[in-house]
Structure 1
């Protein structure tokens, strides 16, 4: 397995971050209010939304619960 990430991984990470941001905005949450709702640090949410960080599975569970959607809808 290669040590460095392939470009497609970075692209998928950006897509996931964009989807989370769009859903958060559609639900009328600021990053700060969403951080409080999910219990995830605001800086961590920022990195996830920018596609700079791979979210933990637990973060995906918290995000999907706050948005009232299945995890599978986030990562489609």
Structure 2
């Protein structure tokens, strides 16, 4: 199987937007990155890379993050 192509600029921009929405929801809930990562069952570095938009997250991971913050999944991934 050939390697997948690098993500397009649209995908990278959307990944950053999702990270921004995760950060905004976390801050609104007065939670630390560490507490969300722990509750979501991830390490802090992995969580930080997702929130910064440097790494994409599996759907299961996004569901766990939304649950840890206490918001619906759609709140983290909706397009503005």
TM range, smaller chain: 0.7 to 0.9
Secondary structure in 1 matching 2:42: coil
2:12 aligned to which of 3, 10, 13: 10
RMSD: 1.4
Following TM superposition, the consecutive aligned residue runs of length 4 or more in structure 1 with deviations greater than 6 angstroms are none
Aligned residues: 75
Could you tell me which runs of 5 or more consecutive residues in structure 2 were left unpaired when the two chains were aligned.
none
**Normalization by structure 1: what TM-score?**
0.87
Normalised TM-score (structure 2): 0.83
Q: 1:68 Cα shift? A: 2.3
Structure 1 residues not aligned, in runs of 5+: none
